[in-house]
């Protein structure tokens, strides 16, 4: 059974202190709506759903405002036990910005309650009515091989449901969400159950077909439970023991999923469907890093399992665009480098003219997503952001909580499925305008105006519990060091390549000072992310021969902390001056101002654009960034400063 569906894996997990946070909401006097929505945006289990629903109903009973959640009254008509469904819907609706009030009809009282203008349901004046009938409670009986009788039975079931809809229509005018019927896995004849008129599967297929036809073109909508049950597997969906135990219509393991699907429809009816998909590029739309691996190195091709995984996501995005979802790009990259696969890679499905706004720069992503939202004049609550990097997801989620951001599995083959399962683009009705919307926005892959940074980045970084580790080159790190030296193109000041043997030689070279740098944070271990080589070439000087870093950890203060570490060792060894060089390539524009930002002074510039920079070791002042520092393996090393003769 796939956890993707039963655990709503696209949602972040609930915080460990979920229960305590629920109590805090009740205790505090400040408005509860926003905090409830934050809690509801996690993947709650059955008991957590019920707990949060209690918080919502207690807040309401105390007369507290649930703003910014908008009120929605839902009546629930069912012929099974809905005692768990009602609170699950109430809690889940908050995820979609809705303060749901649930009114339930008595067990199996659907027809009576809908037809009686004075019934509890009709008096409540609901906005919507969920007609959630289980096949075990509708007038269906077998008529094996009797087509006419079978048709009469189908018409009888459809008539029963239509009668409820008519009653609601007349007495309250609410929108009906009509649930179709999942078919049980127990068969009488096998495959013939589908084909033979009057067999259960055949009957229920006909009912479902009739229901689907009956809602199109009306103000009522379909809730496709049959499709949902098939998605998770009928044998998982139907639990005979839970039905026997308490007439629970489906396995309670799927309560969170079911509630999410109902609430998506309510959200769609309320116009809360998301409209724009913002995509990261490296390791999201293709495998690899375009700035380092180049056009020939990224994985995006038919016939290669990894490449096809990314193609599947591109194909899904393209289909969404054809359905009217606006596509945008947010990537930490040089603009022309990021655009090159869209322009030149023969296997790419997505092209520049599919992208409405193309935001490739080195700003933090929250700032860029804000810019995209403003450029498109679409609110942040219309946006979905897909990024493989948990750091970026978490940052944007914290800074711009209105943006929906799916958690992604490790395997890119499941990216498209995960995005689809999250249901961000649920539509209740379909119009031609939906089709043309994307085209209206598209055509130019324009850049949005740069924005001021949103949110407090430092405070966020401090919450990441980062630890940076500095070590000199050693045998353990040798292979990875050589790999980084030969692969890194973007954050690479000099792009000097060295073989593994040359790297090994530096380990014991008394004129070399080397750093291999690792970073861990609350998301896990980023591994080795930076390499620095200094050479003592002149008395009192260290030449920074190599300084490179993985762009994945850009904007976290790693460069700054590296400089602090360098200064400390330089000072201990009597070095007076650090000399840095920037050698331009067509890939490393990002570090053109690296030394300037760190407080170095430019001392030389050549015709090819190479610049040389200096920093006085004693005078340099570098602010620390929020992370713990470990410095290992430097003791007892030979001094690497050339001494005066």
Partner 1 sequence: MSEQTQTALTDIFHDVFDDDTIVLRPDLSAADVDGWDSLAHVRLLLTIERKMGIKFNAVEAGKLKNVGELIALIDNKLSAPARK
Give the integer Cα–Cα distance in Å for 300 and 315: 12
Q: Which is nearer to partner 1, 6 or 179 (CB)?
A: 6
- CB closer to partner 1, 19 vs 219: 19
Q: What is the DSSP letter of 565?
A: H
Q: Does 258 bind partner 1 (CB under 8 A)?
A: no
The distance of closest approach from Cβ of residue 124 to partner 1 in the complex, given in angstroms and rounded to an integer, is 23
Residue with Cβ nearer partner 1 (48 or 611): 48
Give, rounded to a whole angstrom, the gap between the first and last alpha carbons of the chain: 74
- Identify the helix (H) or strand (E) that includes residue 276: strand 276-279
Tokens of 515: 């750093």
Residues 66-95 that bind partner 1 (CB under 8 A): 81, 83-84
**Shortest approach of partner 1 to residue 251 CB, angstroms?**
9
Taking the complex as a whole, how short is the minimal distance between the CB of residue 410 and partner 1, in angstroms? 24
Query: What x/- string results for residues 183 through 222 when contact with partner 1 is judged by CB under 8 A?
Result: ----------------------------------------
Helix (H) or strand (E) holding 123: helix 120-123
Asked if residues 571 and 558 have their Cβ atoms less than 8 Å apart, the reply is: no
Q: Which is nearer to partner 1, 89 or 416 (CB)?
A: 89
Q: Which is nearer to partner 1, 83 or 336 (CB)?
A: 83
What is the Cα–Cα distance from 134 to 477, expressed in whole angstroms?
61
DSSP character string of 198-254:
TSHHHHHHHHHHHHHHHHTTSS-EEE-HHHHHHHH-HHHH--HHHHHHH--SS-GGG
| Residue with Cβ nearer partner 1 (246 or 539) | 246
Nearer to partner 1, 49 or 77 (CB): 49
Number of residues that bind partner 1 (CB under 8 A): 18
Q: In this structure, what token pair is assigned to residue 132? A: 């959630």
Q: Work out which of 252, 314, 492, 581 binds partner 1, going by CB under 8 A.
A: 252
CB 32, min distance to partner 1, A: 17
Nearest of 327, 310, 308, 330 to residue 318 by alpha carbon: 327
Rounded to a whole number of angstroms, the minimum distance from the CB of residue 350 to partner 1 is 40
Alpha-carbon gap, residue 401 to 418, rounded angstroms:
20
Residue 235 engages partner 1 in binding (rule: CB under 8 A) = no
Question: Hey, which residues between 326 and 355 contact partner 1 (CB under 8 A)?
Answer: none
Of the candidates 476, 475, 537, 529, the residue with the CA atom closest to the CA atom of residue 511: 537
| Interface with partner 1 (CB under 8 A), residue from 15, 19, 459, 505 | 19
Applying CB under 8 A, which of residues 29, 191, 241, 645 lies at the interface with partner 1? 241
104 binds partner 1 (CB under 8 A): no
Asked if 253 touches partner 1 (CB under 8 A), the answer is yes
Show the 3-state SS of 404-456: ECCCCCCCHHHHHHHHHHHCCCCCCCCCHHHHHHHHHHCCCCECCCCCCCCCC
CB of 3 to partner 1, least distance (A): 12
Single residue of 108, 120, 149, 242 touching partner 1 by CB under 8 A: 242
Instruction: State phi, psi for 17 to the nearest 5 degrees.
Output: -100, 35
Task: Quote the CA–CA distance of 321 and 49 in Å, as a whole number.
Answer: 34
d(C-alpha 423, C-alpha 419), whole Å: 7
Q: 361 to 420, contacts with partner 1 by CB under 8 A?
A: none
Using the minimum distance from each CB to partner 1, give the nearer residue, 29 or 241: 241
The least distance separating partner 1 from the CB of residue 30, rounded to whole angstroms, comes to: 22
| Cα–Cα nearest to 214, from 261, 162, 167 | 162
* Burial (CB count <10 Å: 0-12, 13-18, 19+), residue 645: exposed
Tokens of 69: 């959640």
> Judged by CB under 8 A, which stretch of 149-157, 206-214, 237-245, 415-423 contacts partner 1?
237-245
Nearer to partner 1, 51 or 354 (CB): 51
Measured distance CA(436)–CA(431) in Å, rounded = 9
DSSP 3-state percent helix, strand, coil across the chain (nearest 5): 45, 20, 40
In 172-215, which ranges are continuous DSSP H helix? 192-195, 200-215
Based on CB atoms, which residue is closest to partner 1, 242 or 543? 242
Query: Is 246 among the residues that bind partner 1 (CB under 8 A)?
Result: yes
Q: At closest approach, how far in Å is the CB of 38 from partner 1?
A: 20
Quote the least distance from Cβ 94 to partner 1, whole Å. 18
**Nearer residue to partner 1 within complex by CB, 242 or 592:** 242
Query: In this complex, which beta carbon is closest to partner 1, that of residue 25 or of residue 355?
Result: 25
Q: How far is the CB of 136 from partner 1 (least distance, A)?
A: 17
Report residue 537 as tokens. 């070439």
Choice between 46 and 293, CB closer to partner 1? 46
- The three-state secondary structure class of 22 is helix
The 39-68 site mask, x for binding partner 1 (CB under 8 A), equals ------xxx--xx--x--------------
- Dihedrals phi, psi of 616, to nearest 5 degrees: -80, 120
The least distance separating partner 1 from the CB of residue 52, rounded to whole angstroms, comes to 11
Cis peptide before 68 (omega within 30 of 0): yes
**Which of 272, 313, 269, 273 is closest to 425 using CA atoms?**
273
Query: Is position 248 an interface residue for partner 1 (rule: CB under 8 A)?
Result: yes
Contacting residues toward partner 1, per CB under 8 A: 19, 45-47, 50-51, 54, 81, 83-84, 241-242, 244-246, 248, 252-253
């Amino acid at each position: 059974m796939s956890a993707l569906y039963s655990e709503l894996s696209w949602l972040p997990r609930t915080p460990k202190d979920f229960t305590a946070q629920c109590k805090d909401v009740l205790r505090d006097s400040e408005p509860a709506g926003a905090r409830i929505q934050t809690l509801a945006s996690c993947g709650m289990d059955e008991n957590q759903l019920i707990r949060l629903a209690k918080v919502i109903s207690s807040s309401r009973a105390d007369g507290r405002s649930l703003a910014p959640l908008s009120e929605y009254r839902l009546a629930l008509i069912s012929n099974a036990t809905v005692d768990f469904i009602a609170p699950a819907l109430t809690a889940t609706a908050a995820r979609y910005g809705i303060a749901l009030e649930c009114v339930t009809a008595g067990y199996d009282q659907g027809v009576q309650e809908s037809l009686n203008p004075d019934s509890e349901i009709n008096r409540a004046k609901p906005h919507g009515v969920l007609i959630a009938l289980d096949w075990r409670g509708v007038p269906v009986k077998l008529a094996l091989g009797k087509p006419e009788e079978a048709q009469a039975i189908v018409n009888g079931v459809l008539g029963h449901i239509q009668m409820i809809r008519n009653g609601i229509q007349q007495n309250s005018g609410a929108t009906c969400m009509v649930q179709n019927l999942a078919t049980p896995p127990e068969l009488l004849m096998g495959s013939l159950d589908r084909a033979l008129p009057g067999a259960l599967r055949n009957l229920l297929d006909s009912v479902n077909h009739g229901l689907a036809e009956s809602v199109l073109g009306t103000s009522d909508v379909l809730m496709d439970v049959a499709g949902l049950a098939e998605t998770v597997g009928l044998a998982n969906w139907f639990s005979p023991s839970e039905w026997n135990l308490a007439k629970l219509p489906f396995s309670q393991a799927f309560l969170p999923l079911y509630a999410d699907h109902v609430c998506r429809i309510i959200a769609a009816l309320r116009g809360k469907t998301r409209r724009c998909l913002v995509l990261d590029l490296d390791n999201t739309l293709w495998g690899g890093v375009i700035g380092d691996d180049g056009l020939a190195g990224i994985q995006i091709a038919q016939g290669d399992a990894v490449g096809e995984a990314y193609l599947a996501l591109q194909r899904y995005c393209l289909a969404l665009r054809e359905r009217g979802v606006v596509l945008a790009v947010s990537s930490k990259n040089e603009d022309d480098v990021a655009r090159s696969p869209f322009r030149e890679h023969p296997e790419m499905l997505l092209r520049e003219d599919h992208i409405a706004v193309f935001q490739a720069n080195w700003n933090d992503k929250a700032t860029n997503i804000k810019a995209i939202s403003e450029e498109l004049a679409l609110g942040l609550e219309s946006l979905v952001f897909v990024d493989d990097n948990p750091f970026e997801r978490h940052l944007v989620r914290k800074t711009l909580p209105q943006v929906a951001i799916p958690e992604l599995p490790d395997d890119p083959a499941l990216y498209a499925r995960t995005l689809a399962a999250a249901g961000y683009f649920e539509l209740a009705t379909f119009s031609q305008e939906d089709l043309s919307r994307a085209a209206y926005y598209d055509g130019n892959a324009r850049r949005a105006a740069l924005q001021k940074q949103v949110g407090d980045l430092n405070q966020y970084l401090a919450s990441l519990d980062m630890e940076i580790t500095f070590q000199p080159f050693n045998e353990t790190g040798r292979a990875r060091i050589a790999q980084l030296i030969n692969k890194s193109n973007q954050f690479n000041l000099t792009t000097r390549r060295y073989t593994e043997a040359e790297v090994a030689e530096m380990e014991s070279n008394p004129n070399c000072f080397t750093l291999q740098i690792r970073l861990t944070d609350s998301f896990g271990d980023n591994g080795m992310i930076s390499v620095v080589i200094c050479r003592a070439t002149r008395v009192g000087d260290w030449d920074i021969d190599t300084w490179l870093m993985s762009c994945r950890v850009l904007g976290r203060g790693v460069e700054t902390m590296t400089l602090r570490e360098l200064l400390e060792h330089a000072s201990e060894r009597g070095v007076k001056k650090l000399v840095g060089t920037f050698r331009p390539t067509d890939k490393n524009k990002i570090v053109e101002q690296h030394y300037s930002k760190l407080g170095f002074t430019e001392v030389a510039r050549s015709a090819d654009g190479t610049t040389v920079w200096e920093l006085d070791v004693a005078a340099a002042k570098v602010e620390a960034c929020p992370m713990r520092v470990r410095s290992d393996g430097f003791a007892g090393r030979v001094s690497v400063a050339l001494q005066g003769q």
